């Protein structure tokens, strides 16, 4: 990532994409955000550029034309944050509607591939660049969000393959896998009663949700020279969800005083 290039953030109008765009801009980088419904992220500095056209990551023609137009207008893309995505509905396998499956896989996996390939080929030709794909701990575990887990698992594998393909061309490709993150969408689910914060956090070793800024910190680091020897890595940012998720099968996670359910082991 170099100062005279730009960083493209897909899905940058809200959520983790917005948090990443704001943090990158605050640290002096030129940032262009795209979204299917583009709007300026809340509290974003004026230096964040919002690409005005609809950027549907699942449409090859739109991605190809959009990337070309963005580079023609703002300069070479030297960093990419692939944050565009949708979260699936919770259903049993027999109730999944294929149009819902296709939408999630098209945006979360196909979209990640199309944008990363389109940008990555250009980076490889210039012998420089860094890409961070936003995956999920859902792609590393199981749950009743079957299309989403499959798509995010695909993103993790795709990241590894792209790192191998472009490594000697000077392009690094990594992923972050957020745990349950307090985005506006997740908070709305908690506030409505559709989701339980206690249930979301009780298996996290740190006993809390992740903040979007914490995921953004990891993304910014993976784009920076400080991670210059790192490629093909999937970095969980999950407040210890993966570390703590199996403890319910035993005694459960201990509290800060070392006790479990009020009892000393």
Given phi > 0 = left and psi -120 to 50 = alpha, else beta, which region is 226? alpha
Other Cβ atoms less than 10 A from the Cβ of 59: the count is 17
Please tell me the distance from the alpha carbon of residue 42 to that of residue 39, in angstroms, as a whole number: 9
The CA–CA distances, whole Å, from 202 to 11, 89, 240, 248, 252 equal 29, 22, 11, 9, 9
What token pair was written down for 220?
A: 């910014």
Q: Is residue 135 a contact partner of residue 155, using CB atoms and an 8 Å limit?
A: yes
Best CA proximity match to 136, nearest among 238, 33, 52, 245: 238
Q: Residue 155 in contact with residue 232, Cβ under 8 Å? A: no
Q: Exactly one of 51, 55, 113, 148 is catalytic; name it.
A: 148
Distances (CA, A) of 105 to 7, 68, 89, 119: 25, 25, 13, 20
Which 3 state secondary structure label does DSSP give 171? Answer: strand
Q: Which residues pair with 129 in a beta bridge?
A: 171
Asked about 250 being catalytic, the answer comes back as no
The kind and range of the H/E element at 251 are none
CA-CA-CA-CA torsion sign (101, 103, 109, 114): positive
Tokens 């006993």 — which residue?
207
Which residues are known to be catalytic?
Answer: 148
């Amino acid at each position: 990532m170099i100062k005279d290039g730009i960083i493209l953030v897909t899905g940058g109008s809200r959520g983790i994409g917005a948090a990443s765009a704001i943090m990158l801009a605050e640290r002096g980088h030129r940032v262009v955000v795209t979204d299917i419904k583009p709007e300026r992220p809340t509290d974003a500095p004026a230096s964040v550029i919002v690409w005005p056209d609809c950027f549907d990551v699942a449409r090859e023609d739109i991605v190809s034309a959009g990337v070309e137009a963005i580079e023609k207008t703002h300069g070479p893309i030297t960093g990419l944050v692939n944050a565009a995505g949708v979260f699936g509905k919770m259903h049993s396998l027999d109730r999944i509607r294929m149009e819902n499956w296709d939408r999630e896989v098209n945006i979360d996996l196909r979209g990640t591939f199309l944008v990363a390939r389109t940008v990555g080929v250009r980076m490889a030709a210039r012998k420089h660049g860094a890409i961070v794909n936003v995956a999920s701990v859902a792609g590393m575990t199981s749950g009743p969000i079957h299309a989403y887990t499959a798509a995010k698992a695909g993103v993790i594998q795709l990241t590894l393959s792209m790192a191998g393909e472009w490594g000697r061309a000077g392009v690094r490709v990594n992923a972050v896998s957020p745990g349950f993150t307090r985005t506006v969408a997740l908070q709305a689910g908690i506030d409505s009663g559709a989701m339980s914060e206690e249930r979301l956090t009780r298996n996290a070793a740190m006993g809390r949700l992740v903040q979007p800024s914490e995921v953004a910190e990891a993304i910014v680091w993976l784009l920076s020279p400080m991670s210059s020897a790192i490629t093909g890595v999937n970095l969980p940012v999950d407040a210890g969800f993966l570390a703590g998720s199996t403890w319910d099968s035993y005694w459960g996670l201990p509290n800060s005083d070392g006790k479990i359910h009020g009892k000393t082991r």
